[in-house]
Amino acid sequence: MATLFKDVYIADGSRTKAERVHLLVSKGRIAQIIDASQTPPAADKIISGRGHMAVIPGFVNAHTHAAMILLRGLGEEAPLMEWLQNKIWPVEDKLTPEYIYWGTLSAMLEMLATGTTCFADMYFEMERVAEAVLGAGMKAALCRGITAGAPGKIERSLSNNLDLAKNYHGREGLITVQLGPHAPYTVPMDYMRSITDAAKTNGLGVHFHFLETKGELDNLGMSPTDYLKESGLLNTPYTVLAHAVWLDPKTELPDNVSLVHNPCSNLKLGSGIMPLTEWLERGAVVALGTDGASSNNRLDMWEEMRTASLLHKGATMNPVCVSALDVLRMATYEGARAFGFAQKGMIQEGWFADLVLVNLDKPHYIGVNEENLAAYLVYAGSSADVLGTMINGRWIYRNGEYPTLDAEEIMIKAREARDAITR
Ligand code: NI
């Protein structure tokens, strides 16, 4: 089945100017893009934009813990370590595979309604997360969060993570799997090396929390450069470092290492401000993520784009840095490539039709044109403008409905899970 977006604007992180086009989606891909002045191609379904709709790439939320929506609102306004140890970890102990399944689905409802097509998730009971993802037809980069604890816990978690990779990596083109050592303060160095060795042996990427707080840097016991070398993180097939708030932007990073900026979570937990402008000047791959909903508290990439762009302008007193185009690229293409999804995150013929349909027929878009669309989206737009979210050419969210999900049941089950773990 072919869908035609007739007379719509397209924008992505590679276009300095938006274009007004007819865009044809067929067999899950962007099949054709032609100028809106030409005769539109034939299609089974036609969405008539009349110049009042935009199509942009689906967002890739490059670092989150989806099921943590069940913990939203617990332990507000506390520093990271206090928050984790007193408020989060005790409640997480009560999570069952079923609670995580329904919590993840509920997070997916939020993400889909705000234009996210893919999310990078680090948590546990990831088989259930994978089933939620496949059932919905969403895309995800999944890893099992590996932490030390009782004897044998790390070994079991690693073997569980490797099983996840064996069973789900590449499934239906929707899932990639990484290994997920949690952080330097939860995984001893010896284990870091065995995890990165396992990543090399199995051809897998690694997703890791690194230097989120100043305290983490102070307690690292060595320089970040030495840590990255000694842990083997620089020699994996690829490594994604979430947060990196306290990583010096002069640090040499090889091409296989990318960073994820989580501005709202870092601000809310008072963790500091990542030196994003310097990383971008150096040409580093920096993606954008929300982190879990218990430290953000939204799973909304529009909010993340706007915050990232404004935050660094203010912090560096430079209104030119971290442009609308920069954050749009970070929120889409950079996240996709960081986590091993090819041909995703740009509006290009032949690429996957992972798209967001945006309503420009609203007062705050008056004055929008080819030159300024990206800036309108980032500075004036919001997730309330999302009309639909398409993945592989199929609507997964459209006008408030979820064709592949039972939203009502998901919310009932997620509420029950929340009640059970906070009882
Ligand atoms: Ni995190």
Q: Cα(327)–Cα(347) distance, rounded to whole angstroms? A: 16
In angstroms, what is the span from residue 70 Cα to ligand 1's centroid? 15
Mark whether 101 and 175 lie in a shared domain. yes
Domain finish residue from 292, 322, 338:
338
| Residue of 193, 197, 173, 176 lying closest to 184 (CA atoms) | 193
**What digits encode the pLDDT tens for the residues 239-269?**
999 999 999 999 999 999 999 999 999 999 9
Query: What's the start-to-end Cα distance of the chain, in Å?
Result: 48
pTM > 0.75: yes
* Residue 357 shares a structural domain with residue 381: yes
Ligand 1 centroid vs 242 CA: distance in angstroms?
7
Is residue 49 domain-shared with residue 88, that is, in the same domain?
Answer: no
Give me the numbers of helices (H) and strands (E) for the chain, helices first please. 15, 16
pLDDT at 56: 98
- With respect to residue 409, please indicate whether it lies within any of the assigned structural domains: no
- The yes-or-no verdict on residue 75 having pLDDT over 90 is no
Report whether 265 contacts 294 (CB < 8 A): no
- Kindly give the distance from the C-alpha atom of residue 28 to the centroid of ligand 1, in angstroms, as a whole number: 31
Q: What is the CATH number of the domain that holds 47?
A: 2.30.40.10
Instruction: State residue 310's pLDDT score.
Output: 98
Q: Are strands 286-288 and 386-391 parallel, antiparallel or unpaired?
A: unpaired
How many Å apart are CA 262 and CA 367, to the nearest integer? 31
72, 294 contact by CB (below 8 A): yes
Residues 6+ apart with CB under 8 A from 89: none
Rounded to the nearest angstrom, the distance between the alpha carbon of 6 and the centre of ligand 1 is: 40
Res. 80 pLDDT band, cuts 50 70 90:
confident
> Does residue 150 lie within any of the structural domains?
yes
Domain extent at residue 214: 59-338
CA of 297 to the centre of ligand 1 (A): 12
Residue 271: per-residue pLDDT = 95
Q: Is residue 415 assigned to a domain?
A: no
- Six token digits for residue 72: 């939203």
Query: How many distinct structural domains can be found in the chain?
Result: 2
For residues 237 and 256, is the Cβ–Cβ distance under 8 A? yes
Alpha-carbon 127 to chain mean position? 19
Q: Residue 76 above 90 pLDDT?
A: no
Q: How deeply is 316 buried, as exposed, middle or buried, from its count of CB atoms within 10 A (0-12, 13-18, 19+)?
A: middle
Distance from the alpha carbon of residue 370 to the mean position of ligand 1, in angstroms: 36
| Helix, coil or strand: residue 187 | coil
421 falls within a domain: no
Ligand 1 centre distance from Cα of residue 168 (Å): 22
Banded model confidence at residue 167, pLDDT cuts 50, 70, 90: very high
Residues 72 and 177 in one domain: yes
Quickly state the pLDDT bin for 1 (edges 50, 70, 90): confident
Has residue 413 been placed in a domain? Answer: no
Structure tokens at 90: 């005790």
Radius of gyration of the chain (CA): 21
Ligand 1 centroid to residue 296 C-alpha, Å: 10
Tokens 């050592």 found at: 181
Ligand 1: distance of its center to the CA of 43 in Å?
Answer: 42
